[in-house]
Amino acid sequence: MSGETIFALDIGTRSITGVIMQETTKGLEILAAEQREHQNRAMIDGQIHDIEQVAESIKLIKDKLENKLGQTLKQAAVAAAGRALKTTRLNVSADIPELREIHRDDILRLELQAVQEAQSRLANEEDTQTAESLNYHCVGYSVVYYELDGYKIGSLYSQKGRNMSVEVIATFLPRVVVDSLFAALQMAGLEMASLTLEPIAASAVVVPPSMRQLNIALVDIGAGTSDIAITDDGSIAGYGMVPVAGDEITEMISEVYLLDFNTAERIKRSLQDNSDLSFTDVLGIEHTVSAREVLDIVGESVQVLTKQISDKIIELNGKTPQAVICIGGGSLTPLLKDVLADNLGLTRQRVAVRGREAISEVFGTQELMGPEAVTPIGIAVTAYEHKGLGFAKVMVNDRQIRLFEVNRGTVADALLAAGISMRKTQPRLGMALTLTVNGDLKIIKGGRGKPAVIRLNGEDVTIDVPVKHNDIIEFVEARDGENARGHIYDLVPHIFALNISVNSEPFVINPVITMNGKPASYHEELVDNARIVHYLPRTVTEVLEIAGCADFGEDCCIYINERLVDSMAEVNDGDDITLESAAEPITLSTEPDIAAGEAQSTVMPQRTYAAEPTAAAELTAAAEREETADPAGEEESKVTGCTVVTVNDEMVEIPGEDAILTDVLTRTNLQLRPPETGMRLELKVNGTPAEFTTPLKNGDNVLLEWK
């Protein structure tokens, strides 16, 4: 680095100072310096308001320094006011698809997603009406911790789990601050070599690391703002700012004596001479006043200024510091140093104004002296030590991006600077469908989607690849997977209908299919969290209900293929059912029962299928039998005999003496639908696992529980 030249610019509210510094065998030498005051108020409170006027001043300084040195200046190191710095802390999490191994670009994507959300939150906090996350440049972030499945972990790399999260602290500068500096430099024919913060630059030379074990407040009092840096325990412990400084005193003099701003500024700077002051106000009236008179007038403003500074120091430090160092042109304001000491409760010897003489490691031209020299020299030193933020210009989708060379300087950083969401770099899986079919959990997965296309200078790359000046990035965002879709026929097999006859009348018994308790067809589209129940009615009771003959009496004899059976007998394809009544013959209805008709579904192509009733089918059948039961018949059963059992600590009576487990389902408060997807009904009789057809006897203890 020997012989390297640095051009540093301190673009302040009241003036601009340029410094040329070079590293020599003796150390850092100031080769030349130039200073120029703004002709009008081109800057207010550290923010550029008139870019053209500021650019003109920068160019004049640049031209003078080039003439002195005989060389062309192309780049400049600059600083932003400390008031612009914003810090946000945020935690984000992401699911890990299919429990796969975590890669490095997954971690980087997660970190930058946190940065982007912090950026968006910061914008919303600043102005909910005009919030735009791209109003802020990220100038750095650090990871606080990672978590895997809710547990903190040192590194996510190569781990496996269901969910990962990260907490970051991200630091931002408002885009208007950075962009106005870029624009002014560009108009003056310069590029930005590096960017730092003014309090960082000043503390680098006035409070070096060897002094930072002391609790010291550094106050850079300019014209529009007073920047504060606190040192303690060997490091910079905090930064702050108050939006008042030397201009407050100038404006008071201007208001009292009816003076233009420049005349009032000249009077303020002459107060230290303690001589009489002569001036002409805006009405053309000439005045001659003593310095003491003016000091008495500005005393109140000095008190207000120092009170705000001392309050901010206490807020940042939590207590009164051991000492205060004041720099900047505003620190020369009469009375300020002593009043600040009084407000902080320090002796006046513990508050000092320091200038060029406090910087021991820098030598050279004496053109730049006093407390206003500290910040421009600090900017140059910071640039030399590479503690500022460098820049690279890259193109992202034909748009030029100024990329802070911070942290990694990767493709991901460039995408972040371009405002491209990290969520768009990876496709999201399409939403799955989760259903139950006869109580069994079924999942239909969504589509995987298509990953983002990222090319660096024409070659496919990942987001963690480094970038350099003038690189070209092409980005095509990821395409999310399609949400899962399906129809009932995807989950329910084709079932043969039963072709039977009742008293020689032919009937077709179709399979019953319901979705969420409503009749459904094979071709009906599935909905998420649906409960599908399907079964083929097989008992005599079910078949006769569908055939429209549900009112057969107790004295009716039932025959299947001329064999006497009971009402719970199973019916098979081709069976002939005959009903005979001793009282009177039963006339079959040729019109199917309305309720039964609604439950019938479309007859599908013939295919042999046989299955035992599942939990859902048994529950549905039990519910239907309960609804169609004859109350009179039930009362009669109680007279002729019943089975008494305990179900979930509740006494239950079941008509008849040949009860089975299914008979208790509709006689309890048990919820017949699974409370949660994937649950199954556990059946136990006297502590032993049971089936729906398990016989019951008096005194049995039944346990029904969804698990």
HEC assignment per residue over 377-418? HHHHHHHHCCCCEEEEEEEECCEEEEEEECCCCEHHHHHHHC
The tokens describing 503, both together, are 């008293």
Mean pLDDT of 493-521: 89
| Beta bridge partner(s), residue 400 | 395
* CA quadruple 675, 680, 681, 685: dihedral sign: negative
302-318 b/e (C-beta count within 10 Å ≥ 16 → b): bbebbebbbebbbebbe
What pLDDT does residue 673 have? 64
Contact 221, 326 (CB under 8 A): yes
How far apart are the C-alpha atoms of 411 and 468, rounded to whole Å?
9
How far apart are the C-alpha atoms of 293 and 126, rounded to whole Å?
43
pLDDT tens digits along 590-642: 444 433 333 333 333 332 333 334 444 445 555 444 444 444 434 333 334 68
pTM for the full predicted model = 0.54
Q: Where are the alpha helices (DSSP H) in 474-604?
A: 540-546, 594-599
The topology under which CATH files domain 5-74+189-387 is Nucleotidyltransferase; domain 5 (3.30.420)
Contact 190, 75 (CB under 8 A): yes
Rounded to the nearest angstrom, the gap between the alpha carbon of residue 632 and the centroid of all alpha carbons in its chain is 65
Pairing label, strands 642-647, 563-565 = unpaired
Which residues lie closer than 8 Å to 367 by C-beta, 6 or more apart?
A: 32, 33, 34
Mean pLDDT of 670-677: 68
What pLDDT does residue 42 have? 79
Cα angle at 426 between 424 and 429, to 5 degrees?
110
Q: May I ask the CATH class of domain 486-611?
A: alpha beta
What pLDDT does residue 476 have? 92
Residue in 109, 21, 3, 122 with CA at minimum distance from that of residue 65: 21
Residue in 505, 625, 628 with CA at minimum distance from that of residue 577: 505
The topology under which CATH files domain 612-707 is Ubiquitin-like (UB roll) (3.10.20)
pLDDT tens digits along 392-412: 778 999 888 776 654 457 888
Comparison of pLDDT for 593 and 540, the residue scoring more: 540
What pLDDT does residue 596 have? 36
Asked whether residue 648 carries a pLDDT value surpassing 60, the answer given is yes
Of the chain, the percentage scoring pLDDT greater than 90 comes to: 19
pLDDT confidence bin for 553, thresholds 50/70/90: low
What pLDDT does residue 635 have? 39
Please name the CATH architecture into which domain 389-430+454-481 falls: Roll (3.10)
Average pLDDT value for the chain = 80
What pLDDT does residue 547 have? 80
pLDDT tens digits along 173-221: 787 888 888 899 999 999 888 887 787 788 888 887 788 888 999 998 8
pLDDT tens digits along 53-90: 999 999 999 999 999 988 899 989 998 876 667 778 88
| Beta bridge partner(s), residue 706 | 681
Q: Is 288 exposed, middle or buried (0-12, 13-18, 19+ CB in 10 A)?
A: exposed
Asked whether residue 473 carries a pLDDT value surpassing 90, the answer given is yes
Q: Angle, nearest 10°, between helix axes 246-257 and 261-270?
A: 110
Alpha-carbon distance values, 241 to 46, 228, 315, 376 (Å): 11, 6, 11, 19
Asked whether residue 9 carries a pLDDT value surpassing 70, the answer given is yes
Mean pLDDT of 112-118: 82
The tokens describing 401, both together, are 């991006």
Which residues lie closer than 8 Å to 359 by C-beta, 6 or more apart?
A: 205, 206, 374, 377
Pairing label, strands 136-148, 151-153 = antiparallel
pLDDT tens digits along 42-55: 787 667 888 999 99
How far apart are the C-alpha atoms of 2 and 388, rounded to whole Å?
19
Asked whether residue 239 carries a pLDDT value surpassing 70, the answer given is yes
Residue in 205, 201, 211, 218 with CA at minimum distance from that of residue 313: 218
Question: Are 389-430+454-481 and 612-707 the same fold in CATH?
Answer: yes
The tokens describing 256, both together, are 């009292």
Comparison of pLDDT for 366 and 7, the residue scoring more: 7
Contact 134, 396 (CB under 8 A): no
pLDDT confidence bin for 657, thresholds 50/70/90: confident
pLDDT confidence bin for 1, thresholds 50/70/90: very low
Going from N- to C-terminal start, the domains of the chain cover 5-74+189-387, 389-430+454-481, 486-611, 612-707
